[in-house]
Structure 1
Amino acid sequence: MKYNIVNRGDETSVRTMERFHELAAECGLKLDPENPDIVVSIGGDGTMLHAFHLYADKLDQTSFVGIHTGHLGFYADWKPMELETLLRHMATESAEPIRTVKYPIIEIQIVAEQGTETYLALNECTLKGVEGTLVAELRINDERFEMFRGDGICISTPTGSTGYNRSLNGAILHPSLEAVQIAEMASLNNRVYRSLGSSIVLPKHHHCDISPKKGQKILLTLDHLNMQLTDLISIRCMVADRKVSFVRYRPFPFWNRVRESFIGDIVE
């Protein structure tokens, strides 16, 4: 079993990483930053996003597992005090296929004057105007859908639906659904610009093209990555053909995570 660690860099995370390395050596696991079977994220959900993008080109061969050293996250199943249990699972099953769950991610094709580039996102992609409101045409499956004007647009995965999308009153989607959700940020509706006013969910094999008004400066984010574009022609968003794999040595139901994150204990 080959592994690598991505950590948040705070004292607790670094200490947890050092202990993990010690226990991993005792279990016969091999540190391999180039081609790991498992990438261990130590920190929070932001650390997992960073790990995902570091290994986005190796999703077919690499799985992820999260150890949270702060608040409980959607991508972190384990606590620092459970390192021995986690490593025992990893060492015991090193000769067997890794038990994983696979979650859908989104593919974003950025078409600019300089050419086309393709990216993947684990949580979300957002578009915002830098110097004012965003004005853009939305086309679904190559058919014109609406003219949007507002603060911006958020495109999220099912797991990402619990983040920025939720703050925009988008729906929370279970990650077994292969879908992409598009939510508006403070849309303006008048006689010129008309938008739906609610989030929309597109299934796999559907796509949405978002074409900003020419000449706009656009801030585009992919998870934790930001880029400013002055020559953006359009972006195409869709469910990616590939999925991300998370190690699952024990059950941790999605709706339990949602309840613990947003509701807490239910008082009778």
Structure 2
Amino acid sequence: MRVSVFYNSGKKSQQVATKLIKKLVDCAFEIDDKNPDIVISIGGDGTLLSAFHKFSTQLNQVRFVGVHTGHLGFYTDWRDYEIDDLVESLKHDTGQQISYPLLDVGVQYVGERDQKHYLALNESTLKRVSATMVTDVYIRDELFESFRGDGLCVSTPTGSTAYNKSIGGAVLHPRLEAIQLTEIASLNNRVFRTLGSPVVIAPDEWIDIKPDQTAQDYIMTIDQFMPRQKPIERIRYRIADQRIAFARYRHMHFWNRVEDAFIGEKQGS
């Protein structure tokens, strides 16, 4: 089995990575950062997002494992002190995995013939910081609303607990085949109206965002990354054909993970 160990610049993550690589080599695993079968991310959810984007063109052959060295993450099943147990699980790997949907972001830039495609694990946003963003929102090629506000966020089910939740979006179970559109500080008054609540899109539907062409100071993000900003004619969001696979040797119930991350210990009555 070929394994890549991907870690952040934190001292603890580097120490754990050094320890893990030594144990993997001792157990005859091949360390391969170009064509791995397993990518082990050490750090937190942000580190795993970076690992995902590094290997996004190899999703048909790569499974991911997350080791967290800080707070509990939604993509990290193992703690830094469980390295021995992780290596033992890898030794008995039978290909077990669980996969989740991704977001396909198709951007039509002004003056360019072909669309540029990006993959997002969590979400993609379009914002305008210096003034109100004005854009038409289409669902399955039909005009849904004309949006005015700070921006829009389209998230995956696994990304629903990230930025989406902080702006009032719903938490979706990661097994759902859906994407979610959430408004960022929409402008609602007697003149301008939007739905004002998150919208969950079915698997056979798509969302088009067509920003006002008189302004081009838009900022688009793909997860924590910001592609080079160019004038945007249209962005199409849909569920991607590709999926992300996690090598799942043990499983924490999703709602237990949500409770632990956002609610904490239950208080007795």
TM-score, normalised to structure 2, is 0.96
Matched-pair contact (CA < 8 Å) for 1:218–1:228 = no
Q: Helix, strand or coil: the match of 2:13?
A: helix
Which consecutive residues of structure 1, in runs of 5 or more, have no partner in the other structure? none
Alignment of 1:116-265 (within 5 A): 116-214=115-213, 215-227=215-227, 229-265=229-265
1:177 Cα offset (Å): 0.2
Which residue of structure 2 lines up, in the alignment, with residue 109 of structure 1?
A: 106
The equivalences for 1:37-52 within 5 A come to 37-52=37-52
CA RMSD of aligned residues (A): 1.1
Which secondary structure state, in structure 2, belongs to the residue aligned with residue 50 of structure 1? helix
- Structure 2 residue identity aligned to 1:187: S
Q: Which moved more, 1:252-261 or 1:227-236?
A: 227-236
Identity %: 44
Secondary structure of the structure 1 residue equivalent to 2:100: strand
1:60-115 deviation digits (Å, cap 9, x = unpaired):
1001010000111001110111111111111122xx3x211101111000010234
Q: CA deviation at 1:247?
A: 1.2
For 1:104, the aligned partner's letter is P
What secondary structure does 2:35 align onto? coil
CA distance in 1, matches of 2:251, 2:43: 20
Displacement after TM superposition at 1:228 (Å): 5.3
Structure 2 distance, partners of 1:63, 1:192, is 50
Match of 2:81, SS?
A: helix
What's the CA shift for 1:192? 4.5
The separation in 1 between residues aligned to 2:153 and 2:52, in whole angstroms, is: 19
Q: Supply the distance in 2 between the matched residues of 1:193 and 1:242 (Cα, whole angstroms).
A: 37
Following TM superposition, by how much is the alpha carbon of 1:173 offset from its aligned partner in structure 2, in angstroms? 0.1
Q: Where do 1:56-95 residues align within 5 Å? A: 56-93=56-93
CA distance in 1, matches of 2:228, 2:211: 13
Aligned mates of 2:217, 2:96 — CA distance in 1: 44
The answer to which structure has the higher strand fraction is: 1
